[in-house]
Amino acid sequence: MTSAKPVLLSVEGITKAYPGVVANADVSFQIHQGEVHALLGENGAGKSTLVKMIYGLVKPDQGRMTWRGAAYAPSEPRAARAAGVAMVFQHFSLFEALNVAENVALGMENPPALGALAAKITQVSEAYGLPLDPTRMVGDLSAGERQRVEIIRCLLQDPKLLIMDEPTSVLTPQEVDILFKTLRQLAAEGTAILYISHKLEEIRALCDEATILRRGRVVGTCTPRERTAREMAEMMVGAVLTPPERGAKKDWGDNHPALEITNLSVESPIPFGTALKAVSFTVQRGEVLGIAGVAGNGQDELLLALSGEIRTAEGMVKATGVSVGPLGPNDRRRIGFVMAPEDRLGHAAAPDMSLVENAFLTGAVRKGLTRHGFIDWAATRDFADRIIKAYDVRTPGSHVAARALSGGNLQKFVIGRELSQSPDVIVINQPTWGVDAAAAAAIRQAILDRATEGAAVVVISQDLDELLEISDSFAVLNAGRLTAPRPVKGLTIDQIGLMMGGAHGMETAHVPA
């Protein structure tokens, strides 16, 4: 559909190649004034490279861009900002030890005095329905409030084009509604928005037009509200998608929980982190417990305590009938208790090590990858190669360093590495974070397959659709406290949003499914 609004940005024949990969090939599209334009594609489709060229972080090899009809080739982000382009990145660039006004000032070319800036922040944040206290320390803000800081910092530049990369990954449903109201207000005032997200129902609700990339090329355009989420996902991947299916439930004949957490309380080792406060839950064999929550409410601390990176008092954590509080990660793996953390590059994988070496790091114990005290490189390489094949990890080979993979492909490798170890209990934090529809479906199916085979699974995620799709029971972490798990069946998004926002009245007792 052709917009009647004037063209703001035109991208014509843009190509960008790196050694061994063409990130963008002959990409052309237009963004009109006041338009909310979605950029869709799998991980590695070229979205990030494309917006980096628009924002001046990367120079194209070929092609050209025009801004309001004039040649546009920003040499750096400062030049893009001067033209009227602003960007809210997926990962916030904020200093937790500084307050809101100080953080905003750091992102401005010529900031006014802090007092005047604080007044401006208050005025703009209230005008756009994103209230912020400019004197609050960023370390004390929720993830949603931190995103507001980034957005307000952009709005103070009076942008004509606002680029947003996965903006709702850390928000509650209520916060998403507030953000969308703000974005619609900006669009009505003439600001164009280039919106990147894997959440296709959000794309349908918000965006006017969509450009779809596959392996660096534009493969189609559409009006999102006229398409289903499934249709858009299949345009992205070029194939028919099969939703995850749960195998028939079995009676494992065991009344003892595979994982039992009792009054788990730990201080956070993370600066500005959240202490866990008397967290209790159980997970049976074959059960998937979904734990939701806005980022920063204790998810990382829960993973650290369950993995053994934080040791806990005797009796707080039991897995496969063993009290594992004093045990470290490898000893927990030995009894079949494995985990996959959220931070795939640095925590789950060593960036500069090859995929073979990364396979060894957590697979050595369960897969027997040593012989007489030495690494069995042939067996380790075979393990890595089998993960790559089974989980469709797109890489030239297992010799490649972890940091060379796209985020989605590294995620598939990390999840595959853990699920391939035949665990009895598995805890996964953000299993499909930043992963496209096809990869997400494959990961969710693999998780359900492990549950069908008898594993007890805990999935910690900010993706509510994901949790509702694969979980048997559901709980929410808020300020380090866990609501009582309850069956997924019958839960509404409004109820979940209230639980995520800290409505402790929603903590109903667990009713067996």
Q: Distance from CA of residue 67 to its chain's centroid?
A: 31
**pLDDT at residue 272 tops 80:** no
Mean of the per-residue pLDDT values of the chain: 88
Write down the pLDDT at residue 507: 44
How confident is the model over 2-23, as a mean pLDDT? 88
Query: Do 7-237 and 259-350+402-506 fold alike per CATH?
Result: yes
**pLDDT at residue 333 tops 70:** yes
Q: Which residue has the tokens 């009582």?
A: 484
Superfamily of domain 7-237: P-loop containing nucleotide triphosphate hydrolases (3.40.50.300)
Write down the pLDDT at residue 510: 39
Q: Where are the domains of the chain?
A: 7-237, 259-350+402-506
**pLDDT at residue 491 tops 90:** no
Write down the pLDDT at residue 3: 62
Write down the pLDDT at residue 512: 36
How confident is the model over 318-331, as a mean pLDDT? 92
Total Cβ atoms within 10 A of residue 123: 10
C-alpha distances in angstroms, 88 versus 93, 248, 430?
A: 9, 44, 21
Write down the pLDDT at residue 2: 54
Q: Which CATH number fits domain 259-350+402-506: 3.40.1390.10, 3.40.50.300, 1.10.10.10, 3.90.1150.10?
A: 3.40.50.300
Q: What is the pLDDT of residues 423-458, one digit of tens each?
A: 999 999 989 876 777 778 888 999 999 999 999 999
How confident is the model over 77-82, as a mean pLDDT? 92
Going by pLDDT thresholds of 50, 70 and 90, the confidence category of residue 459 is: very high
DSSP 127: H
Going by pLDDT thresholds of 50, 70 and 90, the confidence category of residue 513 is: very low
**pLDDT at residue 1 tops 70:** no
Note whether 195 and 206 are within 8 A (CB): yes
Write down the pLDDT at residue 19: 83
346 φ/ψ sector (left φ>0, alpha ψ -120 to 50, else beta): left
What is the percentage of the chain residues whose pLDDT exceeds 90?
58
Euclidean distance between CA atoms 64 and 248, whole angstroms: 55
Q: Name the helix (H) or strand (E) containing 203.
A: helix 200-206
Q: State how beta strands 259-266 and 317-319 pair.
A: antiparallel
Q: What is the pLDDT of residues 108-119, one digit of tens each?
A: 888 889 999 999
Candidates 334, 267, 345; CA nearest to 304 is: 267
What is the percentage of the chain residues whose pLDDT exceeds 70?
96
3-state secondary structure of 41: strand
Going by pLDDT thresholds of 50, 70 and 90, the confidence category of residue 43 is: confident
Which carries the bigger pLDDT value, residue 368 or residue 92?
Answer: 368
How confident is the model over 58-75, as a mean pLDDT? 95
How confident is the model over 204-223, as a mean pLDDT? 94
**pLDDT at residue 142 tops 90:** no
Q: Give 384-436 as a DSSP string.
A: HHHHHHHTT--SS-TTSBGGGS-HHHHHHHHHHHHHTT--SEEEEESTTTT--
Going by pLDDT thresholds of 50, 70 and 90, the confidence category of residue 505 is: very low
**pLDDT at residue 183 tops 80:** yes
Enter the pTM of the model. 0.71
Q: Distance from CA of residue 314 to its chain's centroid?
A: 33
For residue 99, what are its two tokens? 């307050």
**pLDDT at residue 244 tops 90:** no
- Range with lowest mean pLDDT among 48-52, 88-92, 423-427: 88-92
Q: What is the pLDDT of residues 369-395, one digit of tens each?
A: 999 999 999 999 999 999 999 988 888
